[in-house]
Amino acid sequence: MTHASPLRSIAVFCGSNDGFNPAYVEGARALGREIARRGLRLVYGGTHKGLMGVIADSVLAEGGQVVGIITQLLFELGHLHAGLTQFEVTRDMRSRKTRMSECADAFIALPGGLGTFEELFEVATLTQLGEHRKGVACLNIGGFFNPVRSLLDHAVQEGFMKTEHSEMLMFDTDPSVLIDALERWQAPTVTKWIGPAPL
CA 111 to chain centre: 10
Domains defined along the chain, listed by start: 9-184 (3.40.50.450)
pLDDT given for residue 1 in this prediction? 37
pLDDT tens sequence for the chain (199 residues): 345 678 999 999 999 999 999 999 999 999 999 999 999 999 999 999 999 999 999 999 999 999 999 999 999 999 999 999 999 999 999 999 999 999 999 999 999 999 999 999 999 999 999 899 999 999 999 999 999 999 999 999 999 999 999 999 999 999 999 999 999 988 887 777 787 655 5
pLDDT given for residue 2 in this prediction? 47
Angle between helices 175-184 and 22-37 (to 10 degrees): 50
| Core vs surface per residue 131-168: b (16+ CB within 10 A) or e | eeebbbbbbbbeebbeebbeebeeebeeeebbeebbeb
How long is the chain? 199
CA 121 to chain centre: 10
Task: Tell me the longest C-alpha to C-alpha distance in the chain.
Answer: 54
Q: Select from 21, 91, 14, 95 the least CA-distant residue to 47.
A: 14
pLDDT given for residue 54 in this prediction? 98
> pTM for this one?
0.93
Amino acid of residue 189: T
